[in-house]
Amino acid sequence: MRTRLASLLLLAALGLSGVAGAADTHSAPRLLGPKKQGKVRRVVTLAPSLTEMVLAMGARETLVGVSRFDVDKAVAELPRVGGFVDPSVEAVVALRPDLVLVQPGPGNQRPVERMAELGIPVLLLPLHSVADTLAALRAVGKALGQEQDAEALISRIEATRARIREAAKKLPAPRVLLVYGFEPLVVAGPGSFADELLRDAGAINIAADAGSAYPVYSVERAVRARPAVVVDAADVDVGKEKIQALPGLSTARWVQAPSFALLQPGPSLGRGLEELFGLLHPSAQLR
């Protein structure tokens, strides 16, 4: 299940990197459909990161449906309403939600718009960058009446980032490649939240010259760049041995991301950053 979920999270990152609507340039949270009147009591989430936000704010009792990729034990008994790019409009409508939380993109544009047309409030929450993630936390907190919990989560993430940045100032900056998939080679590029976390941790992202947040990266460029560390966040081994054996990559120190925190932008960003710092600076001590 862990391998399968990691693959699907990667596909979501690639497939949902836009916003709902081909011509839509919105990057802030926004509402489709009618505005909910009164307290939100029934919530459906269409991505594990959004489920995590609701849970972290202590609002588990509002959840009535989640995506089929949610593996948190806290929502194990809840109905499934489809995936990132193929949510079931019928399944969502049947649950009578007061609010649907969506990580928007071209892949789920039509079903999400249909939910709004049917009178269901849909909150679109882009999750490209750290700033997006913090804005999403704040928007979810406001929608659920959990503003204080949301602000506490944001404060903890920002405090962790400040602490890690300060610690990283005293350490050498390793050249790093963070990999989401090996066949093809998909990496953390500029504009991704993982690229920001790499910089927070004092690393130089060798894929910072790529043209997108989650590019299919040239193997030849990776070889020429000779990273000191390769962070394996793919958790899928197909193609890994071939890449790992190449000159320029075989001499790198290969490390494995220990959790989904580098795949799933949400309340666990701070933990993901701490994990990343530990991988890149194994002998350093955090205070």
Structural domains of the chain, ranges and CATH numbers in brackets: 2-145 (3.40.50.1980), 172-280 (3.40.50.1980)
Specify the amino acid at residue 75. V
3-state secondary structure of 205: strand
Q: Hey, what's the torsion of the CAs at 27, 99, 147, 196, to 10 degrees?
A: -30
Alpha-helical runs (H) found in the chain: 2-15, 48-56, 89-94, 109-117, 130-144, 147-168, 193-200, 219-225, 240-244, 269-280
Q: Which two tokens stand for residue 167?
A: 């610690």
Per-position pLDDT tens, the chain of length 287: 444 455 555 555 454 443 333 334 457 999 999 988 889 999 999 999 999 999 999 999 999 999 999 999 999 999 999 988 899 999 999 999 999 999 998 889 999 999 999 999 999 999 989 999 999 999 999 999 999 999 999 999 999 999 999 999 999 999 999 999 999 999 999 989 999 999 999 999 999 999 898 899 999 999 999 999 999 998 788 999 999 999 999 999 999 999 888 888 999 999 999 999 999 999 987 77
Q: Which of 174, 211, 177 is CA-nearest to residue 194?
A: 177
| Cα separation, 15 vs 76, whole angstroms | 25
Residue 221 is which amino acid?
A: R
Q: At what angle do helices 130-144 and 193-200 cross, to 10 degrees?
A: 110
Q: What end-to-end distance do the CA atoms of the chain give, in Å?
A: 34
In one-letter notation, the amino acid at residue 82 is G
